[in-house]
Amino acid sequence: MLLQVEALAYGYGDRIVGSGVSFDVAAGEVLCLLGPNGGGKTTLFKTMLGLLPARAGRIRLDGSDLGRLSRTEIARAMAAVSQAHAAYFPFTVREMVVMGRASRLGPFAAPGRADMAAAERALATLGIGHLAGAVYTEISGGERQLALIARALSGEPRFLIMDEPTASLDFGNQARVLGQIRRLARAGIAVLFSTHDPGHALLCADRVIALHDGRLAACGPAAETVTPALLRQIYGVDVVVAPVPGIAAPICAPVID
């Protein structure tokens, strides 16, 4: 098993946001994390990445306790894709993407030819090779999100954690990012992503984890787990989940007055 989360409690400082969370991730598997705003999705991700200490329980990466691994060891296996942000300095997309190689380089080393090639490959995988020379702060939000995914991929991780990768993207870019997640899984990379759209879970996740009130509300295969009852429980609204002819995954829409 690539990653095991066992009876994990997580939070900031004195505040415990969630506890008793257990699940695991296998190679090439896509997991989708659902939960309401402020439900602790980002905090859980940060704890899984080792950026915040586990408050109880443990996380195992390839069987080893995450707390005992160095940042470099963790980053080689797991890469994070944060929400597209504005950088402070006008790096080019190529400079930004090659930073994903940091975990593969010694502290005094600068990226060499092989690292630049890995960055170019990652850009090509995402179909944004033409943006390599563009300035990261001047491209669109969707392009930035793709560049951040490319940065994560350039380090050749086995597990990608993506915090709301489709937030703030237009309809087309959302579909492109979801398609990309499926392609990564086919290449053997495990992906855990969070979203506010349960439809995305049905579209591209193998399994779904749902957080509610700091607890794991559900964990199971997407089609069986994303039910009106679960969505009612975590979001507090009535939802229709219905199959549509011609579409593989059922669609999911809220009922509004």
Partner 1 sequence: MSREPAVAAGAARTQRSLRVSAALLAGAALLMLSVLALAVGRYPVPLADLANVLGHRLFGLPGRVPAPVETVVMQVRLPRVVAALVVGAALSAAGATYQGLFRNPLVSPDILGVSAGAGLGAVLGIYLGLPVAPIQALAFLGGLGAVAAVYGVGLAVRRHDPVLTLVLAGVAVGAVLGAGISLLKVMADPYNQLPAITFWLLGSLSSVTLGDVGAVLPMMLLGLAPLVLLRWRMNLMSLGDEEARALGVETRILRPVLIAGATLVTAAAVSMTGVIGWIGLIVPHIARLLVGPDYRRLLPASLILGAGYLLTVDLIARTAGTIEVPLGILTALVGAPFFLWLLAAGRGRVG
Terminal CA-CA length for the chain? 45
Q: In what order do the strands lie in the sheet with 3-12?
A: 15-25, 3-12, 56-61, 64-65
How many of the other CB atoms lie within 10 Å of CB of 163? 20
How many whole angstroms separate alpha carbon 93 and alpha carbon 136?
Answer: 5
46 belongs to the binding site for partner 1 (CB under 8 A): yes
**The binder of partner 1 chosen from 38, 63, 110, 244 (CB under 8 A):** 110
Binding part of the chain for partner 1, among 99-107, 186-194, 214-222, 244-252 by CB under 8 A, reads 99-107
Q: Which of residues 138-167 bind partner 1 (CB under 8 A)?
A: 138, 151, 155
> How many residues in the chain?
257
Q: Which of residues 112-141 bind partner 1 (CB under 8 A)?
A: 116-117, 120, 135, 137-138
How many whole angstroms separate alpha carbon 21 and alpha carbon 120?
Answer: 38
How many whole angstroms separate alpha carbon 154 and alpha carbon 96?
Answer: 10
99 belongs to the binding site for partner 1 (CB under 8 A): yes
Binding part of the chain for partner 1, among 103-111, 185-193, 201-209, 218-226 by CB under 8 A, reads 103-111
Q: Which residues pair with 252 in a beta bridge?
A: 241
Residue whose CB is less far from partner 1, 15 or 186 = 15
The residues binding partner 1 (CB under 8 A) are 12-13, 46, 49, 51, 70-72, 74-76, 79-80, 82, 87-92, 95, 99-100, 102-103, 105, 107-111, 116-117, 120, 135, 137-138, 151, 155
